[in-house]
Each structure stands twice: as C-alpha cells, then as structure tokens.
Amino acid sequence: MSDLCTNNALMRPAALVLENRPIARDTFLLRLDAAEIARRILPGQFVMVRASEEGADDPLLGRPFALYDVQRKGTGEPVSFDVVYLVIGRGTAALSRKRPGDRLDVWGPLGNGFGPSPGPGHALFVAGGVGQTPFLALGREWLGATTYGEGESPKGSPVESATLLYGVRSADLLAGVADFERAGIRVEVATDDGSAGRAGFVTQLLAERLQAGQRPAKIVACGPPLMLAAVAGLARDHGVACDVSLENHMACGFGACFSCVTPILQDDGRPDLRRVCVEGPVFPADRVDWSRPSH
C-alpha cells in the first residue's frame, strides 16, 4: 500500500511488524517495516502508532513513540526503524500482543527533533523512565557515526564524547544499555531502590558532575516532568545549554487536536500555549514554563 501524505508526515497504513520483543520488564522493542519513514526520520522526532485490536474501535487513538534506531541495507539505505515502549495502559498492552507479520497504522515522522550537534566537547543526555529512547540515535549522530534523515537539517560538528545518565526505579527496567555502550555512549545508572548503579535520582548524578566543574557542550533531557524541571534548574544554575524533550499526552500527533499544548515562554517572557507535537517535542529548557503543570 502506498504512503499517504498528511501535514508533511507520511501515513503508512498497515506497516508490517518485523519484531516486537521484550527488552526489559514491561518494555518492548518494536521494529516496523516502513522504509519511507526510516529514510526521513531524525533523532528526537517521533511516530504515532495505532494498535487497535482486529475488528475493534478501541483504543481509537495512536500513541507517540520516539525514534530509537534505523536499520539499513548493506548499501546504507534505511529499510526499517525501531521504537521502544513501556506497557502502561490498554493501548500499549494491545501493542505488546502484536507479532511479526501483524500490521499497524503508523504516521510520521512528527515533531522537530534535536537539531545539530553542539560539538566539539561533550554531550550529556539525562533520561528518566523510558526517556532514554531518543538518545541512541542522537548519540550516534552527534558522535558523527551515523546520519539520519536523508538531506534534512544541518548536522553540526561532532561531539568528542557522549554520556547517558539513566535513572529508573529498579534494575529490571533498564532497557538498551548494551545498545548505548556499543554506540560509544558511556552509561551511568541510578536506581530508586539501589538495585543497579547509584541509589537515588538521576539528577543527583548530574548535579555532582556540574558541581565538580564539568561543563558539557549541551545537556539534553527526556523523562518525567519533575525530573526535567530539576535538570533545567541545574543547567540554568551552571550556565550550560539545555534542551528537553517533552512527553505530553498526544491524540493526533500532527497539530489538529490541541491535546498536547504546553506553556512556552515567548521573547517578552510571557507564556503562550504551543503544540508539543508540532513545535516540539524538543524545546530549550529555559523556554518551558516549569511553574505550570500541563507537561
């Protein structure tokens, strides 16, 4: 079936599931046969995936999932892509039951992505929960190992090194650590219960680095709102550039429903509601109005 265009995004009705396998507790890697999206998608962009059960209307809505990685043929041509998701409700539970050979509605690439590498220097990624997902492709690109999004956007100078600070509740939720390490991204872990890495919040790992005088070229964070607000505050206090990828609820993913709006500070300092799916999900941390609870 051919791809349809909607608001610059490709609708891929009935994309074939190539893999859908658990990689940690309640966490799955989904590989989709959608070469057009794989060719165009950038780190930090996302796709909407709808996993309705056969013959049922529920769940009607898609779910947004960030790009994890792209697979290529021997010639380098992108052929498929992966997302990683946590099972947290009926939609993702239905998705976890899909098997290779099943088909899903997929539309994307959506959103703005992370932008060019801030190199040279060091990139610091901070992730909470399943927020590590967008940083594998981003690390590969910023380290200069891989280019995503055919002909899209300036790429910048590569960074010399990249580290992922990765916080989860317990060790069994750690997903994809070996993938990051294979990509040359250092990983430091914090767990709430101390079952892996440092016991405590991932923001403590960040605070210690900054207090020790380390100055990354950029901090990029993805995770729960309280974690993002804490990261934004640390970055501001230490004068380090910081972007955050927001995980707002999204119903359509392409700007039509306004379910994803969040207050973003304008040049005059006043907040204005912006659609995270179109103008985000990546925003400069100092533009997000952290005093308001809608993200």
Q: Which is nearer to ligand FES, 46 or 166 (CB)?
A: 46
H or E segment and range at residue 276:
helix 276-279
Stretch that binds ligand FES, among 7-15, 83-91, 126-134, 250-258 (CB under 6 A): 250-258
Q: Is 123 in the site for ligand FES (CB under 6 A)?
A: no
Among 251, 271, 273, 287, binds ligand FES (CB under 6 A): 251
Give me the least distance between CB of 234 and ligand FES, in Å please. Answer: 28
Q: Is 281 in the site for ligand FES (CB under 6 A)?
A: no
Single out the residue of 253, 256, 243 nearest to residue 283, CA to CA.
243
User: What is the rounded CA–CA span in Å between residue 114 and residue 283?
Assistant: 9
Contact 103, 111 (CB under 8 A): no
H or E segment and range at residue 39:
helix 35-40
Among 115, 253, 263, 281, binds ligand FES (CB under 6 A): 253
Q: Which is nearer to ligand FES, 107 or 148 (CB)?
A: 107
Stretch that binds ligand FES, among 5-13, 82-90, 127-135, 252-260 (CB under 6 A): 252-260
Among 70, 202, 250, 288, binds ligand FES (CB under 6 A): 250
Q: Residue holding tokens 């994809």?
A: 176
Give me the least distance between CB of 51 and ligand FES, in Å please. Answer: 17
Length in residues, the chain: 295
User: What is the rounded CA–CA span in Å between residue 115 and residue 167?
Assistant: 24
Give me the least distance between CB of 187 and ligand FES, in Å please. Answer: 31
List, in sequence order, every residue forming a beta bridge with 22; answer none if it has no partner.
Answer: 28
User: What is the rounded CA–CA span in Å between residue 277 and residue 279?
Assistant: 6
